[in-house]
Amino acid sequence: MPQPEGAELEAIRARRADLRGKYLQAPADRRPTTVQGVHHLALICKDVEETIRFYQELLGFPLVELVENRDYRGSSHFFFDIGHGNLLGFFDFPGHDHPDFSETIGAVQHLALSTSPEEFERAKARLDEAGVDYLGPDRGVENSLYVRDPNGVGLEFYREELGKFEGEELLGENPSR
């Protein structure tokens, strides 16, 4: 996709600076969040077994439930444990002809998953062994590896602690976790 340049790029950067100044509060001034965290992220898959094999067998995320979707007869709803009480959920919708993944408004660009340096290397080795394409660590970003699941969902394995970004504590002294 084409990237902005020149005056257009400078205007975008100025707008971001304005938004930071207007909305970003110092950690001590932030109110606590109104929720407890992510219970589950619910995504759509094209093939239940292929998705289970990718997440459980290749990536090592345990499947913890597989039931019928309460809102659509015949559809499966299933969950993987992604740590710290967080679940990654999927639905399938038999009979629906869903288009392939598209990076567009409202789509999930990627899901960044915090991982230890050791698990980062193990994930990279498993992907290499399975012949799964990925990006990284490269482009000057040594702590990230990007892969797409069989449904087109982008995953980032990020060697960073929860609540931090590029070594900076985002939650400050008032963490709501």
pTM for the model: 0.81
Across the chain, which distance is largest between two alpha carbons, in Å? Answer: 53
Nearest Cα to Cα of residue 159 among 176, 135, 142, 140: 142
The predicted structure's pLDDT at residue 177: 47
Residues 121, 127, 133, 134, Cα dihedral to 10°: -30
Q: How far is CA 20 from each of CA 16, 73, 133, rounded to the nearest angstrom?
A: 6, 45, 36
pLDDT score, position 172: 66
pLDDT tens digits, one per residue of 91-129: 998 988 888 888 777 778 899 999 999 999 999 999 999
Where the chain has pLDDT below 70, the residues are: 139-140, 172-177
Model pLDDT, residue 119? 92
Q: Minimal CA–CA distance to 120: which of 108, 133, 136, 139?
A: 136
pLDDT at position 108, please? 82
Give the count of alpha carbons within 13 A of 63, CB side only.
17
